[in-house]
């Protein structure tokens, strides 16, 4: 079953030109609208969404919402014979989430994994700076039990053999339930500020970077780290100074972690336990 899409691009074709009328729609929301439509509660699904859903990355192939006869759950499936564009990472199967979780465990004792994680984050920052559509940040080579640190060449991409897409989330759209409780690579241009705090129990100093949307300034998530990690991250002065002036500043950020909602469900936090897990530049 092809259930890798957690969202779709909503596109209406007007005047023969493809025009995006609403950035993205989440699978969970589509499933709810579809149920309401099937139960004659609302026609919104048929009127707005049906036949207007496309691959969220390359916007090439059309997607249909299909109900699994096994699980009863809805999933998004590409129309047969419609292909993704050349540079679309959805051509590749996703890495199993447990392998991504494993990649981030115990980084302090695994220099090869540190290097791999950091090189993916570097490529995401490069993508942000240049708008480059290269597949490089998204793909990794895998074996059965782990993500390998091998370089990926064009031949490997062509054959698709053991090549998988990493779970990557752009911070240009809100964090949703698919982005939490599992390891992901997050990246984007955001507004941010730093808080310095002392832990209640031992009084150790730690830092929390609060990340807000660059467009709406709405809260997205925060990441926390101890003083040793913070000191080694080369935090730009302008961001560091927000500890005293409390003003958000625009930054480019890429980090790999597991985001968890807190008890109140108002805040979403991730830990940075190793320097390789985060890159911040102005």
Site map (CB under 5 A) of Zn ion, residues 188-227, x = contact: ----------------------------------------
Is the CB of residue 138 less than 8 Å from the CB of residue 168? yes
Residue placing its CB nearer to Zn ion in the complex, 63 or 128: 63
Site membership for Zn ion, residue 272 (CB under 5 A): no
d(C-alpha 235, C-alpha 282), whole Å: 9
d(C-alpha 58, C-alpha 84), whole Å: 7
Is the CB of residue 5 less than 8 Å from the CB of residue 63? yes
Residue placing its CB nearer to Zn ion in the complex, 88 or 235: 88
Residues whose CB falls within 8 Å of the CB of residue 57, separated by 6 or more in sequence, listed in order: 84, 88, 89, 90
Using CB under 5 A, which residues numbered 20 to 59 contact Zn ion? Answer: 55, 57-58
Site membership for Zn ion, residue 84 (CB under 5 A): yes
**Residue 2 CB, nearest approach to Zn ion (Å):** 12
**Residue 60 CB, nearest approach to Zn ion (Å):** 5
Residue placing its CB nearer to Zn ion in the complex, 38 or 87: 87
The interaxial angle of helices 111-130 and 97-104, nearest 10 deg, is 110
**Residue 94 CB, nearest approach to Zn ion (Å):** 13
d(C-alpha 102, C-alpha 168), whole Å: 16
Site membership for Zn ion, residue 163 (CB under 5 A): no
Given candidates 33, 88, 233, 252, which one binds Zn ion under the rule CB under 5 A?
88
Site membership for Zn ion, residue 4 (CB under 5 A): no
Report the relative pairing of strands 268-271 and 260-261 from DSSP bridges.
Answer: antiparallel
By CB under 5 A, name the binding residues for Zn ion: 55, 57-58, 84, 88, 90
């Amino acid at each position: 079953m092809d259930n890798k899409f957690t969202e779709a691009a909503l596109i209406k074709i007007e005047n023969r030109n493809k025009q995006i009328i609403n950035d993205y729609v989440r699978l969970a929301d589509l499933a709810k609208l579809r149920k309401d439509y099937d139960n004659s509660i609302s026609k919104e699904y048929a009127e707005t969404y049906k036949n207007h859903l496309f691959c969220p990355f390359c916007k090439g192939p059309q997607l249909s919402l299909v109900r699994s006869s096994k699980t009863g759950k809805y999933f998004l499936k590409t129309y047969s014979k419609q292909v993704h564009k050349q540079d679309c990472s959805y051509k590749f199967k996703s890495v199993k989430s447990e392998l991504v979780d494993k990649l981030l465990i115990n980084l302090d004792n695994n220099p090869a994994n540190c290097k791999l994680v950091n090189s993916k984050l570097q490529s995401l920052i490069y993508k942000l700076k240049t708008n480059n559509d290269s597949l490089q940040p998204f793909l990794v080579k895998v074996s059965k039990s782990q993500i390998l640190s091998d370089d990926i060449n064009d031949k490997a991409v062509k054959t698709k053999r053991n090549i998988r897409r990493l779970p990557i989330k752009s911070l240009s759209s809100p964090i949703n339930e698919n982005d939490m409780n599992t390891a992901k690579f997050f990246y984007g241009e955001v507004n941010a500020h730093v808080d310095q705090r002392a832990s209640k129990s031992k009084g150790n100093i730690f830092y929390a970077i609060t990340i807000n949307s660059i467009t709406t300034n709405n809260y997205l998530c925060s990441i926390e780290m101890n003083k040793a990690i913070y000191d080694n991250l080369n935090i730009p002065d302008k961001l560091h100074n927000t500890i005293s002036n409390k003003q958000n500043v625009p930054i480019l950020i890429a980090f790999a972690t597991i985001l968890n909602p807190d008890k109140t469900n108002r805040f979403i936090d991730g830990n940075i336990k190793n320097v390789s897990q985060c890159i911040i530049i102005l």
